């Protein structure tokens, strides 16, 4: 009797197992590390801007299929394999294990507590770190808790922040910051604690739009914190406001803007100008195998991607506020405009990134469609092109130095958009003639080691829409 029971149980198990296989014929098998490494090598071999610098990516690198397979098996993780394929000049290509999160970050969607901060070392300390709040996002936990620009914090969950632990301390969805003061030389704890929790949030990068009355003339001020394509309409609306107010000058604040969409950068530059429609903004240099197919010339345009007409100001000069956090697409605007109009940079030297990337999925044509069938959620964002302005300028590895040097004073950050805020005041001085170009204001230099944006997969990245390009 027991034997028959066992047989019946076994038959039932086989039946259920068979039905599972039959019902899931279309479900992809889970990809192995070997499968993912294969996709990574093939994608990098096709697209990587610096392919010629990396011997492992040469078309004739492997003598046989077995030689190639053995090479792929030498790496236990896709991350270590990808890192091994990068050129020594490349600081920006990256691999993610969740392309959905990557796509959301490009759309401005993140897990966020609303406290956008920077991290710097203490004066005269090689290890101790404090944070300073750059701005607070509206409708977030940080706003509800009363935090403001200029607040200082030096502990997380009771632990002093250092250059070794800051990433781990600030990564969780919830943590408690310990507030402090900073007088320019000393960080002093206040014993006040603020607990913060992250939630999904969509950030509008068009952060501040103002008309300033400077010497009885209207001056536009725009703080723009990311080149997020989904907010091009809001960006264009800000310029409609400037246009209707007949601004004579524009101060573009990209001090915390790490970049984003190349298309948005072209549109922004066309909004600032307008008189150069159809002229060369930048040209692209891809690797030798792809140059003829994908290399293109980007032109000043008169429409945003929705088809709406661009609100152009036809300016002949622009003032740009920058820091070391100004990168990629922010620098693209500076470089692209420079041959055409007077571009006066106020603040600190920019990051130094002139290359753009694309998202490479594990599909037949490396595009997004069908990526779910790969059996994994890895995607690459390799550098694929470098931008060159109309005067031939590129390769600005050291960033763009300001015409007027003034670093942010962490003991007196000021209020964003206030004419007395130090960087904005320095730009206004240029407009009114109160300050000379190449002027150096009193500065306070502390070593910058990170920011709240550093956790984002698209941190300091500039990208092009490869899906649209590949379908042309």
112-199 architecture in CATH? Answer: Roll (2.30)
pLDDT score of 293 = 92
pLDDT score of 25 = 47
User: Does domain 206-442+456-470 correspond to CATH entry 3.90.226.10?
Assistant: yes
Bridge partners of residue 195, in order along the sequence: 176
pLDDT score of 456 = 81
pLDDT score of 460 = 81
Could you give the 3-state DSSP secondary structure of residue 90?
A: coil
pTM of the model: 0.90
CB atoms within 10 A of CB 313: 22
Could you give the 3-state DSSP secondary structure of residue 176?
A: strand
User: Are the C-beta atoms of residues 469 and 363 closer than 8 Å to each other?
Assistant: no
CA dihedral 170, 174, 179, 185 (to 10 degrees): 0
The dihedrals phi and psi of 221, each to the nearest 5 degrees, come to: -125, 125
User: Are the C-beta atoms of residues 152 and 132 closer than 8 Å to each other?
Assistant: yes
CA dihedral 26, 32, 37, 39 (to 10 degrees): 0
**pLDDT tens, N- to C-terminus, the chain (472 residues):** 433 343 333 333 334 333 444 444 455 589 999 999 999 999 999 999 999 999 999 999 999 999 999 999 999 999 999 999 999 999 999 999 999 999 998 898 999 999 999 999 999 898 999 999 999 999 999 999 999 999 999 999 999 999 999 999 999 999 999 999 999 999 999 999 999 999 999 999 999 999 999 999 999 999 999 999 999 999 999 999 999 999 999 999 999 999 999 999 999 999 999 999 999 999 999 999 999 999 999 999 999 999 999 999 999 999 999 999 999 999 999 999 999 999 999 999 999 999 999 999 999 999 999 999 999 999 999 999 999 999 999 999 999 999 999 999 999 999 999 999 999 999 999 999 987 655 556 556 788 999 999 888 777 879 887 665 555 4
Q: Tell me the C-alpha to C-alpha distance, in Å, between residue 143 and each of 148, 421, 440.
A: 8, 21, 35
Domain with CATH 3.90.226.10 in the chain: 206-442+456-470
Report the alpha-carbon distance of residue 172 to residue 163 in Å, rounded.
17
Report the alpha-carbon distance of residue 189 to residue 259 in Å, rounded.
34
Report the alpha-carbon distance of residue 101 to residue 108 in Å, rounded.
11
Q: Tell me the C-alpha to C-alpha distance, in Å, between residue 73 and each of 51, 59, 66, 81, 279.
A: 21, 19, 11, 9, 49
Report the alpha-carbon distance of residue 469 to residue 14 in Å, rounded.
49
Q: Tell me the C-alpha to C-alpha distance, in Å, between residue 165 and each of 27, 159, 176, 193, 407.
A: 41, 9, 15, 19, 26
Report the alpha-carbon distance of residue 93 to residue 85 in Å, rounded.
10
């Amino acid at each position: 009797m027991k034997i028959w029971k066992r047989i019946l149980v076994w038959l039932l198990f086989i039946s259920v197992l068979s039905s599972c296989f039959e019902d899931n014929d279309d479900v992809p098998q889970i990809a192995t590390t070997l499968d993912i490494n294969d996709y990574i090598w093939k994608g990098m071999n096709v697209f990587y801007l610096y392919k010629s610098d990396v011997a492992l990516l040469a078309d004739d690198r492997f003598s046989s299929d077995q030689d190639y397979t053995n090479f792929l098996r030498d790496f236990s993780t896709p991350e270590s394999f990808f890192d091994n394929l990068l050129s020594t000049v490349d600081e920006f290509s990256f691999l993610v294990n969740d392309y959905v999160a990557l796509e959301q970050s490009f759309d401005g969607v993140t897990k966020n507590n609303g406290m956008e901060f920077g991290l710097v070392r203490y004066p005269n300390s090689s290890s101790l770190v404090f944070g300073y709040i750059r701005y607070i996002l509206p409708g977030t936990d940080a706003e509800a808790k009363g935090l403001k620009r200029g607040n200082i914090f030096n502990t997380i969950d009771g632990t002093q922040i250092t250059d070794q632990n800051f990433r781990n301390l600030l990564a969780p969805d919830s943590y408690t910051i310990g507030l402090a003061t900073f007088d320019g030389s000393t960080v002093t704890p206040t014993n006040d604690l603020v607990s913060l929790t992250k939630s999904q949030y969509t950030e509008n990068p068009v952060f501040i739009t103002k008309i300033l009355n400077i010497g009885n003339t209207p001056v536009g001020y725009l703080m723009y914190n990311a080149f997020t394509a989904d907010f091009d309409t809001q960006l264009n609306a800000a310029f409609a406001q400037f246009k209707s107010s007949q601004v004579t000058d524009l101060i573009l604040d990209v001090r915390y803007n790490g970049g984003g969409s190349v298309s948005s950068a072209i549109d922004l530059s066309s909004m600032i100008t307008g008189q150069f429609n159809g002229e060369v903004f930048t040209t692209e240099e891809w690797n030798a195998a792809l140059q003829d197919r994908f290399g293109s010339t980007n032109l000043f345009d008169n429409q945003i991607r929705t088809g709406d007409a661009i609100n152009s100001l036809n300016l002949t000069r622009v003032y740009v506020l920058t820091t070391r956090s100004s990168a990629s697409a922010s620098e693209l605007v500076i470089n692209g405009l420079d041959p055409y109009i007077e571009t006066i940079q106020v603040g600190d030297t920019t990051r130094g990134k002139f290359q753009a990337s694309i998202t490479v999925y594990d599909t037949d044509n490396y595009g997004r469609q069908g990526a779910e069938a790969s059996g994994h959620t890895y995607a690459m964002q390799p550098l694929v092109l470098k931008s060159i302005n109309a005067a031939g300028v590129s390769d600005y590895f050291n960033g763009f130095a300001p015409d007027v040097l003034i670093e942010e004073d962490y003991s007196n950050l000021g209020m964003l958009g206030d004419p007395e805020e130090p960087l904005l005041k320095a730009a206004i001085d240029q407009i009114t003639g109160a300050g000379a170009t190449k002027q150096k204001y009193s500065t306070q230099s502390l070593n910058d080691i990170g920011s709240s944006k550093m956790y984002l997969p698209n941190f300091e990245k500039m990208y092009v829409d490869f899906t649209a390009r590949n379908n042309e």
